[in-house]
Amino acid sequence: MVNQAPKPQPLWIDNECDVEQRRAAAPGLAWGWLQRTLRNGEAAIKLEKSGYGSECAPLLRSALEHAMRLVWADAGGGKFVEVAMLAKKHTSNRMLAAQHDGWRFERAIADQLQQYADAPTDAFKGLNDFTHLKHAIDKSPEEIKDRLKSMYLAWLAYTAASHPSIDSAEPYIDKKPGSNYMALLSVARSRPAADCAAVSILALIGAAYGYSRVTGLEAHFAPALQGILEHHAGYFADLPQG
């Protein structure tokens, strides 16, 4: 479905207008996010099959977050490139500020980060809040919130399991109910075999939907997405159809 999709029509830029430059960047950014969603899911499934299901949390979290951003892009007034630029600006500033005597970037890397940090963003600085995922979701129309609710709940769960937390430690501890004995495990306890596949499919549905809307390729993606939703109706009963 994804790699066989027609590519978006190229945007020819007739001038150096910043707005036109950002508009031209939109299909490429959306494509990169779609591929990251797809490949993170594929990587998670392969890891799970190799016995590393619990360790897939960061991959699944990333897949879900990229998918949610693509769904949100459809409701973001075409400003998702600007929001990505603001996020890159903030990250570049933090990376430059975090340098220390033991680790300084090579000149070429530092110069590139400085270019991102100095990028002109005053024209859309009012979008800063949208760099935070929860704010972007809260400010979305109800239809978009409905499309994001399952992915957001899964993202919260995998975020907890990705960071140092009780959730990230729990798979390596075995304590039977009512027992005072606690076993420390070097291999995580087994998980439901379909976990990674289900979450990966959920993320791919969202990402492909968002990408199709951003690029105008609904005619290619809509039938395939409908087929996936029907095939996995038991998993995704609460997802909006169509």
- DSSP per-residue letters across the chain: --TTSPPPPP---SS--HHHHHHHHHHHHHHHHHHHHHHHHHHHHHHHHTT-SGGGHHHHHHHHHHHHHHHHHTTTTT-HHHHHHHHHHHHHHHHHHT-BTTB---HHHHHHHHHHHT---GGGGGGGGGGSHHHHHHTS-HHHHHHHHHHHHHHHHHHHHHSSSHHHHGGGEE--TT-S--EEPSSPPP--TTHHHHHHHHHHHHHHHHHHHHHT-HHHHHHHHHHHHHHTTTT-TTSPP-
Q: Does 28 share its domain with 63? A: yes
Average pLDDT over residues 58-80: 91
**Residue 177 and residue 67 in one domain:** yes
pLDDT tens digits for range 108-145: 999 999 999 999 999 999 999 999 999 999 999 999 99
Whether 29 and 60 map to the same domain: the answer is yes
Same domain, 208 and 112: no
Which residues 6+ apart lie within 8 Å of 148 measured at CB?
68, 71, 72, 137, 140, 206
pLDDT at 10: 59
Mark which of 139, 157, 178 sits at the end of a domain.
Answer: 139
What sign does the CA torsion over 225, 42, 51, 163 have? negative
The CA distances from residue 167 to 12, 64, 152, 157, 212, in Å, are: 48, 18, 17, 9, 35
Q: What is the mean pLDDT of residues 135-162?
A: 93
Same-domain status, 111 and 170: no
Q: What is the pLDDT of residue 59?
A: 98
* Domain edge (last residue) among 111, 139, 167: 139
**Which residues does residue 174 pair with via DSSP β-bridges, in sequence order?**
183
* Residues 54, 161 contacting (CB under 8 angstroms): yes
Q: 132 with 25, same domain?
A: no
Kindly tell me if the per-residue pLDDT of 13 is higher than 70. Answer: no
Closest CA to 182 of 169, 193, 192: 169
When divided into structural domains, the chain yields a total of 2
Q: Please give the pLDDT value at position 241.
A: 43
Residue 19's pLDDT is 81
Is 11 within 8 Å of 214 (Cβ atoms)?
A: no
Q: Which domain holds residue 189?
A: 1-6+15-75+140-242
If asked whether residues 70 and 85 sit together in one domain, one would say: no
Q: Are residues 172 and 105 in the same domain?
A: no
Asked whether residue 91 falls in the same domain as residue 186, the answer is no
Same domain, 68 and 101: no
The larger pLDDT score, comparing residue 19 to residue 109, is at 109
pLDDT band of 234, cuts 50, 70, 90: low
Are 85 and 171 found together in one domain? no
- Examine the fold and report which residue of 86, 108, 139 is the final residue of a domain before the chain moves on: 139
Same domain for 172 and 64, yes or no, is yes
Q: How many other C-beta atoms lie within 10 A of the C-beta of residue 90?
A: 15
